[in-house]
Structure 1
Amino acid sequence: MKKKYKVIHLVIKVALLIIGFIIIGLIWWFLPILAVYQFSFGITISEMATLENQYRVTLTQAFGGIAILYGVYLSWKRINIAEDNLKATQKSLEIAKQEQITERFTRAVDQLGRTELEIRLGGIYALEKIASESEEYYSPVLEILTAYIRKNSGVNLQIKGKSLTYEPESIDFQANENANSEKINERKLPLDIQAILTVIGRRQKYFSNGESNRLNLQDVYLMGANFKGFHLEGACFRGSYLHGAIFIDAHLEGANFAASHLEWAKFRRAHLEDATFTVASLKHAYFRQAHLERSECFGAKLESADFTDANLYGARNLDIDMLSKVKTLHGARLNETLRSLLKEKYPNLFDHRPDTEMMLERLKV
């Protein structure tokens, strides 16, 4: 039935086209004759024929112009149709891509709940890939991964039956191998947690530079974790156990370490401007060349912390009693009033440390 209607439609089109050409031909032939007939008195037949031909040339040009305009219109219409088809195709592809990403996202999240480590690792790296491909899923992926750390490496879960005392590795390698191997293995992060930290460290965006949300690593247990060079601006580590964690060259501007345990943590050359250390434990922490401008230090425990060449200018709620317990302030930048009082009461804090002690410290860091 449809084929029959198509044939009829084609026949009608052809018939209309033929009729149209006949009408144009009649106009082209007879209109000049009628036009010239009005001026036929006083002119010869030859002149009449010349005028008719001139009229026909003019009509031919007019018909040609109309044909060109019609051709332009048809081309414009075809281009619009092509553009509409292209947009529809692109939209269909985008919908298909989004459906595929949604399916991959759901499958990857499901993998995180599996008991097999290999499958969980596959889910973690699948989520990383999705975050790099989809702006829509970027924030949810980070929220899921940080939630996974909080759930599977939370303080309450990890500290049961464990000692929270951190001791740095001995420089006696034989002693490490024989006496401390069990303690070192106990401190080692689970592979899935380390994988998530690796993903966080590899991301190209960070808070206030493409990310709208701060990383939430509150109340986590990440003893000895390696955050070297990470962008963790504005991250929340409130109440976390980060003994011996490595934050060398990390960007931690505005990070929140309130009530955290950061004993023996290494912050060499770290950017900690506007960071919060309220009632945090920073015993034996290493802040050599760190930037601590405008950081909040109310109630922080600074016993034996190393602030060699650190910038503490503008740090808030630092007092003489707190700083008197640090290991060294050699080369540190402080508010002038505080520096003068400390030099007067505790001049040894600004002394240059012996080379042997510096070498031992480098081995630790």
Structure 2
Amino acid sequence: MNRSRLPFLRRPARRARAAATARIRRRAAALSGRPDRLRRIEVLGALLASVVAAVVAAGSLVYTQRSNEQVREELAINRDQLDLSRDELAATREGQITDRYTAAVVNLGDDAIDVRLGGIYALQRIMTDSTRDHPSILNVLSTYIRNHATAPPGTGQDTTRPDVQAAPSDVLAALTVLATRDPAHDQRAAIDVSDSYLAQANIGAELDNTGEPIPDTRSHLSNANLSHTVWTGANLVGADLTNANLHEADLTGALLIEADLTGADLAFTNLTDASLSRANLTNLWLLEADLTGVTLDGADLRGATVGKDQLLAARLTPETRLPADLANDPDIQEHIAELGYPANLTLPGS
């Protein structure tokens, strides 16, 4: 072979090898770059997933917040509706009480006593249901008693007789409502039945098995204006008459056993034959009061304004607690002895 032609023969072979080598290099480069693209794709995928998750979370948060706002708005609406319902209910209730009050007061002016009694008991129920109307009802019933409890038929009737005529039933019913009310709701109102005829009233406390008054059943007449009233034969057992005004009242034959008359004014009062056994009469004003035949067994008169002559007309016992200046007075001791008790006793005093 002509050696001069060998270079020409070798050139294609070299080109082929070079091309093959280039192909191999390109393929190797391609193969070596694939993991980078995969990683980039994975990173992009993770980033895209994070973005999607963030968008979903943000959407959920917005939805939740909007739902919460909607719930709060609904609750606010419900509260407003509830407040409105309460206001409407209160207005309806007040309207009903007003209607009942008006009807009851109208009944008080009826000619039939049964209708008037219905009005009195209706006011008692309203007094219980509406403390706001309590003081006004107290004043209405006080006025009713003063207007209807005038002296009984027969001018100059002897009210000291045991068979004295009782006060009208509607008057006594109104008095019972006042006496058994809850005084905690009186506010500034006070009972005023002055100049009223209340004979044979029965507002005494209920008694337990031992004969003692039950506290929750005591009549509440404290601070009441009872001046010039007639209580002949009345039952006032256990009554609360503290600071009451009984000036010139007639309590002939009345039962005031265990009544509390602390600080009351009984000046010029007629207590003939009344029973004040175990009554609290401390600081009582008894100026010129008639104590003829009054029973003071166990009564407490310490601090009371009372004279010796008045006590000598009463029925005293060694258990009667007298003012200090009269407790051991010889005339008082002699009077007690005449009543059947031992003389020369040391009586309890202040």
TM-score range, shorter chain: 0.7 to 0.9
Which residue of 1 is the match for residue 331 of structure 2?
345
- Structure 1 residue 43 displacement after superposition: 6.3
Q: Indicate the SS of the match to 1:146.
A: helix
- Structure 1 residue 192 displacement after superposition: 1.1
Is 1:216–2:212 an aligned residue pair?
A: no
Of the candidates 24, 30, 43, which is equivalent to residue 47 of structure 1? Answer: 43
Q: Which amino acid aligns with 2:169?
A: L
Alignment of 1:81-92 (within 5 A): 81-92=77-88
Alignment of 1:181-260 (within 5 A): 184=163, 187-203=165-181, 205-206=182-183, 209-212=184-187, 213-229=189-205, 230-260=219-249
| CA distance, structure 1, for counterparts of residue 73 and residue 239 of structure 2 | 58
Structure 2 unaligned blocks of 5 or more:
1-36, 206-218, 342-350
Which residue of 1 is the match for residue 294 of structure 2?
305
- Structure 1 residue 253 displacement after superposition: 1.4
| CA distance, structure 2, for counterparts of residue 161 and residue 199 of structure 1 | 29
Q: Encode CA deviations 1:214-267: one digit per residue, 9 max, x unaligned.
A: 211111011121120212222210111112222111111111111111122211
Q: Which amino acid aligns with 2:122?
A: A
Checking the alignment, whether the CA contact within 8 Å between 1:217 and 1:236 is kept in structure 2 is yes
Q: Which amino acid aligns with 1:297?
A: L
Q: Which amino acid aligns with 2:282?
A: E
Alignment of 1:105-254 (within 5 A): 105-155=101-151, 158=152, 161-168=155-162, 184=163, 187-203=165-181, 205-206=182-183, 209-212=184-187, 213-229=189-205, 230-254=219-243
Which residue of 1 is the match for residue 276 of structure 2?
287
| CA distance, structure 2, for counterparts of residue 75 and residue 53 of structure 1 | 32
| CA distance, structure 2, for counterparts of residue 58 and residue 96 of structure 1 | 56
Is 1:318–2:306 an aligned residue pair?
A: yes
Tell me the percent identity. Answer: 25
- Structure 1 residue 354 displacement after superposition: 5.9
Is 1:103–2:89 an aligned residue pair?
A: no
- Structure 1 residue 321 displacement after superposition: 2.4
Checking the alignment, whether the CA contact within 8 Å between 1:250 and 1:270 is kept in structure 2 is yes
Q: Indicate the SS of the match to 2:328.
A: helix
- Structure 1 residue 327 displacement after superposition: 2.8
- Structure 1 residue 113 displacement after superposition: 0.7
Q: Encode CA deviations 1:171-217: one digit per residue, 9 max, x unaligned.
A: xxxxxxxxxxxxx3x612322112213323432x12xx332222111
Q: Indicate the SS of the match to 2:319.
A: coil
| CA distance, structure 1, for counterparts of residue 92 and residue 128 of structure 2 | 18
| CA distance, structure 1, for counterparts of residue 299 and residue 335 of structure 2 | 13
Q: Which amino acid aligns with 2:191?
A: L
Moved over 6 A (4+): none
Q: Encode CA deviations 1:69-123: one digit per residue, 9 max, x unaligned.
A: 2111111110010010111111111111111111111111111111111111111
Checking the alignment, whether the CA contact within 8 Å between 2:230 and 2:251 is kept in structure 1 is yes
| CA distance, structure 2, for counterparts of residue 352 and residue 247 of structure 1 | 29
| CA distance, structure 1, for counterparts of residue 281 and residue 56 of structure 2 | 86
Q: Which amino acid aligns with 1:350?
A: I
Structure 1 unaligned blocks of 5 or more:
1-40, 169-183, 356-365
- Structure 1 residue 160 displacement after superposition: 5.1
| CA distance, structure 2, for counterparts of residue 188 and residue 97 of structure 1 | 39
RMSD: 2.2
Checking the alignment, whether the CA contact within 8 Å between 1:288 and 1:307 is kept in structure 2 is yes
| TM-score using structure 2 length | 0.78
| CA distance, structure 2, for counterparts of residue 349 and residue 52 of structure 1 | 118
| TM-score using structure 1 length | 0.75
| CA distance, structure 2, for counterparts of residue 226 and residue 258 of structure 1 | 21
Is 1:61–2:60 an aligned residue pair?
A: no
| CA distance, structure 2, for counterparts of residue 110 and residue 136 of structure 1 | 20
| CA distance, structure 2, for counterparts of residue 130 and residue 152 of structure 1 | 22
User: How many residue pairs were aligned?
Assistant: 291
